[in-house]
Amino acid sequence: MKRKQDTSFRVEAATELMPFLLSKLGGMTRTSVKQLLSQRRVTVNAGIQTRHDTPLKAGDKVQVLQGRGNIELRHPKLRVIYEDDALIVVEKKNGLLTVPYNPKSSEMTAYSILKEYVKKQSRSATVHVVHRLDRETSGVLVFAKSAELQEYMRTYWKQLVTKRTYAAVVEGHLDKTEGTITTWLTEDSHTGMVYSSPKDDGGQKAITHYKVINATSIGEGDQEMPISLVELNLETGRTNQIRVHMQSIGHPVIGDRKYGHGNEFSPIDRLCLHARTLEFIHPMTEKKVRFETPLPKEFSKAITEKTK
């Protein structure tokens, strides 16, 4: 008996994955399509996609694979949002290190989780860190499947990345609804703290563009605290850049124990910084790819508390 062939479709106009599949797979319900996605049986331009709201553009190739797809990663702190033969793109939750501080450490990290995940697919498979997020920062992370590709992406990261957008909940209400912060950052080799200077003092030039999305307050009475949800686009990617820059203008990121007040004045029990969007040139296809994750629920709840 012949094996059923995989089904392929060409996208003719910009849309999202869910409505596209519903229009092409006659009779399937949204629940059935979500099941296909969770089983890792849908690819876009040969990369596995699990999000139903993945944006599609004209010319994209969508494929529905017969049988079950690759082994699914099930972990509360890490979710695969894209995978192909070259890359794995994940959403990391806060509280999880990207890689261990000490190579001999047995602490669970995004790297160790993915290392075990790829080994289940192939004993010879490897995974390599391309860039990092702080332990308490959540959001999009990219890993390479070969050391050669890792080296290439690290070397040309600035040229490959076309957009990096973060979301942050910060203390206070900003005077301007949008602007650009430009300073020179220097890291203290003894303390690990990064210091900001408005003038060139020999440090690394750092540029952050910000835009206020919403402003409200949390708490009641004497405990009321003004907060703002801010979108931040990085023109440079320095160590702790966003956290230091927001502190430098008097609006530290909520939950920041290193550059702010931690959770002293906030009921939100985490660092409120999330790497929401990452757009870059895929090193193998040379086409632009974009990955976006939802705003964390803690952010949404806090920022809408008094603006309903």
Q: Which of 211, 226, 231, 230 is nearest to 306 (CA)?
A: 226
- Spell out the alpha helix ranges (H) of the chain: 17-24, 30-38, 110-121, 147-155, 157-160, 241-248, 297-304
**Are 101 and 134 in contact, with CB atoms under 8 Å apart?**
no
Whether the model clears a pTM of 0.85, i.e. scores above it, the answer is: no
Domains present along the chain, CATH in parentheses: 1-69 (3.10.290.10), 70-155 (3.30.2350.10), 162-276+297-304 (3.30.2350.10)
Among all chains, which residue has been given the structure tokens 């699990």? 50
The CA-based angle 174-175-178, given to 5 degrees, is: 75
Residue 40 CB partners (closer than 8 Å, separation 6+)? 48, 50, 68, 69, 70, 72, 83
Q: What is the model's pLDDT at position 225?
A: 85
Q: For the segment 146-195, what is each residue's pLDDT rounded down to a tens digit?
A: 999 999 999 999 999 999 999 999 999 999 999 999 999 999 988 889 99
Q: Which of 134, 188, 256, 269 is catalytic?
A: 134
Name which of 10-24, 41-55, 231-245, 247-261 the model is least confident about.
41-55
Known catalytic residue: 175? Answer: no
Tell me the DSSP string of 8-73: EEE--S-EEHHHHHHHHSTT--HHHHHHHHHTT-EEETTEEE--TT-EE-TT-EEEE-SS--SPPP
Q: What is the model's pLDDT at position 77?
A: 94
Distance of CA 231 to the CA centre of its chain: 13
DSSP summary character for residue 293:
-
Among all chains, which residue has been given the structure tokens 């409200």? 216
Q: What is the model's pLDDT at position 113?
A: 95
